[in-house]
Each structure stands twice: as structure tokens, then as C-alpha cells.
A and B are shown apart, each in its own frame.
Chain A
Amino acid sequence: MLKQLIPRPVLSLTVLLLWIAITNAGSLGLLLLGLLLAVIIPRLTLPFWPQAPRLANPLRALRFLGVFALDIVVANWGVARRIVGPSERLSPALVEIPLDLRDPFLATLLGSIVSLTPGTVSIDVDQKHWVLLVHALDAPDPQALIDEVKNRYEAALKEIFAC
């Protein structure tokens, strides 16, 4: 019964929390409306969603969020210095990162993480050969970049989703 009402409980919870964030949980009426949306929206969008892998290790995920936030700050500083400095000293590179992940959702997630950390933008997630194509603003040593992405982010994602 409950499973029929909310087929994707995590998605419903996300919708509800977002609604609370947007409306600042102003009144009981708004909260009820949010509950209604949390039931309706996941049902309407059900066909769009890929079968997302299960979150196996929530604590590890929280720790990863912390590391990720810190990385954004540190790497932003690096990019800022490169923007202000002489641009002919930069060595931009297109780097192909071979993936161990075999899940479309996780590969896309990894691509987004790479894009959000400064200095790298993911250009293509090739799901036929499982290669992530990345453009780096300044990568004199492409192998170091590959190792960093694989050890720092891909390994963490594999642990978090246990695959």
C-alpha cells in the first residue's frame, strides 16, 4: 500500500525537503501542499528515472561531501591564480580517463563532480567504452590528473554505492 503510494521514497523525501527549503516551511498549509507534491511529482516522473544504485554507505557519503567542499575551495584558489597569472604558461589538455564504474547514473555523477571541481570540465561520458573525456585548464602531467580523479572521486563513489 505504502509502496504503491510512494514508489521512490528517497525521491519523495528530496522533493519534500526542497519544498521546505524553498518555502522556509512558512505554514501548515504550505507543508501539506509539499506533502501532496512529494507524492505526485515522483509518480509523474517515474518513467524518466534510471534505476539508481542504492546508497550503501551514507556516512561515507557525508564525509565525501566534506572532502568535496574543501576541494572546491582549494582548487578555486589555484584556478584564480592561473587566471590572473600569464596565460601562455598554462598547458591545457584533453585527458581521457578510463572508468571502472559501469553504471550510467554513477558515471554521470562522476562527470558532474569533475566539472564542479575547478580546473577540470568533463566534456563527454562515453558509455560504450566507459571513458570520461575531461578538459583541464592546466595539466602539465595528464597521468597525475587521471590518478587524482580515480583515487579521490571514483574510488569514493564505488565505496558509497557499493559497486
Chain B
Amino acid sequence: MKMSYEKSTDILNKSCESLKATGAEKTACDLTHSMTHELNVDGGEISLLRTIFDTELTLTVIKDAKKGTMTTNRTDEDAVNETVRETYDIALSSEKDPAYDISEKNTLRREAAGDGPDADRMYERLKEFVTDVKATYPSVILEQAILDYKVLTRHYKNSNEADLYHERGFYQFTVMFSAKKGEKSSSFNFADVTMNDLSHHLLEAGGVKRLIGEAPRLIDTRPFPGKCIGEIVMTPECLLDFIMFLSSHLSDRAMITGTSFLKDALGEEVASPLVTLKSLPLDPSMAGGYAITQDGFPAENLTLIEKGVLKSYLLSQYGAAKCKRERAANNGRFYLLEPGRDSLESMIRSVKKGLLLTRFSGGNPGENGDFSGVAKNSFLIENGEIKNGLSETMISGNVKELFRNIKAVSAEVSDSGHSRLPWALTDQITISGK
């Protein structure tokens, strides 16, 4: 059962009253309830059905410019009162910071959970997927696959009379797989998509079919020949990883500490003019998008980079106050990178020696943006043609330069439900094999 608006209002009103009684100047109550119906495939067989209910009540107290936050998953009166007391004690134990604040008065009520889950339909879709993968790709092993339907309700209230409610329901599908022939095996790969409904075969969602279809070609791999400064064509999945690295430099921690390589770049060119990057949590086609920011403001869609120029950071209310900059309209994710005019085929044809980089397995880039890691599930490109799959091949470069050096963006996009991204060609990447 999903939590009703009336039930969450009742819990929040009682919590707010209890917080008010502490005498704190500013208080906030944030309640999230989730209901998950989840089917699991392990070792190629449907093996587990889970039904999970969870609740998270987060209370915030600001007293004498000191802040405390506590989260519990119990909402009975005794638990709420105990959590209020502890939150107040945490605030008193903290230290003054005038940047602590809560969101302004706002109201929002958005309900879009739909009727799911349809347990029988979920089983049928997953069974169809398992059966068809076995028939079409006999060398592919489905290590794990999870299809779930989640209903999330979030209700936020604070002492400034903010009252925001958002209910959403969506399907998520994650599959991890490899291909095996004799004693030889490909590296594992995975695909994840979110969906508003189950109207399509799971193989047709996002990049699922493309990525599973590539696995058998990655059983026999060779290291990249030698070492060079080369070009890479990033798949949408790989591009998302680098967008996440970039966005971390737009966010609170890197900005507050001043270690972001983009700290003074607002209005400056930070990427190729071919790059327009948006965060669209309210786009109806982005399944599972959020309508309330983490700090209790109504979320808005946001353009982060327009034709290469940085238009916004991803600062919270607190981060904005610390950095003396504008609060961002949302918390990021649900990214769209505007498609370009080149076809993927022409992009690959233009590469003399480089990689089709499907997955980057690497450490988090250093604070200066330097990264290095392994090119996984990737292919050699030589003289404009995709050749053999690669193993034991490393790449290194710099995240900032990677976006500056983008030379082409594909017209084709992959829509995973939580992002819509094209392929992108960049250069000046160190590629080393054997």
C-alpha cells in the first residue's frame, strides 16, 4: 500500500508540532515512503520476489544558527518524540553557521503514481526477456536482472510554511550479464533503464539490446596495440559517467572547498560548443524524476551548459550561501545532452586509431580532473572501422579537457528513461595496451 496524502500530512503535522515545542527557530520535516515490488533473476532464472515497504522521516532543527538532522524509519508517536529530542540535542552539539537555513514558503502537490504494480505483467515481461535472451544470444549469461516497480511519496513541510508533496510510480530494470564460450568469458556489463509502463519488451528499452548483443563479440579480446594519444567515441552509458564526474565539480563539496576546477567558470566556455547539457527531472519522459529538491524547494528543469558555456552550478541552498552564488534550480541527474548532426557511423569512420569506449572502469578523478582507468567492453577503431574487442587496455586524460575536446556529437541518442544521451567523439586521450 502506498502512503496516502492524508496519512503523511498527519505524521508531518504531529512531527512539526513536536519540533515547534522545542523552541527552535527553524524546523523542517521530510517524510519519504516507498513501496517496492521486485522480481529478481539470478544465474539466468527467475528466483526471488520481494515486497518491501519503507519509511524515512528526516527532522531538521536550526537553533541559534546551529543545525542538527536525524532520520528514522519509525513514525509512531513515541519514535517521533524521541527523534525530535535527539535532533534538538544534535543541533545544540553542533556549531554556528549563518548559512544554515530552510526553504521559503511554497506549496506543491503532484500525484502521478499510476496503478502499478501489475505483478503478473511484471512476471510475464521478465520471463519473456529471459527466454528471448537465451534464444537469441545463447552465449550470454544473465548474471542478475532486477525488474521492480516503486511507488515513492515524498512530503516536506517546514516552519516557513513550505508544504510540498510528490508521489511518483515507475518501473526500473537493471541487468548484469556476460558472455561465455568454453573457458573464455567476456567482461560483465550492465544496463539500467527506468520506465513509466511495461508497454515494451525489456530488450527494447534504452541500450539493453545493443549492450547484450555486443557481449558475444567481447569473448575474444586483445589488448590495444601499443600506446598512443588517440580519439575515443564514448557511448551514451560511458558519457553519463563523465557527466557525473563533471557535475561533482559543480556541486557543494567541490565548490565550498574551492577545489572545483569550474569554481570561477560561470559564463565561461567550459566545453566544446557542441555541448548543451540539461538536467530535466520534471520532463514527463524521464521516469522517476523528482519534483522537490533535497533541501525542500520545488525543482525546476535546468540548463547547466549551453553551447559549451557554463550556465549554472548545482549548489544547494547551503552551498549557495557559502559560495555567495545562486541556488541551483535542481539537484542534477536526469541528464539530456542535445544530439548533434553527425551520424554515429560517420563519427566512427573519422577515427584513424582509437576506441569505442562502452564502459570506463576507473577511480574517481583527482581534484584537478585527471582520470585513468580501464576501457571495459570496448572495441578498437582502426582506419574508421570497428575491429576487435579489447582487454587490458587503459585510458587516461582529464575530465575538463575531455569535454573541451569533443569534436562531434551523434544525431542518434539512447533513452534510458533516466537520461537521454548521444555518442560523443573526443580526443587527446592516452590509450595504452600491450
A, B: real partners:
no
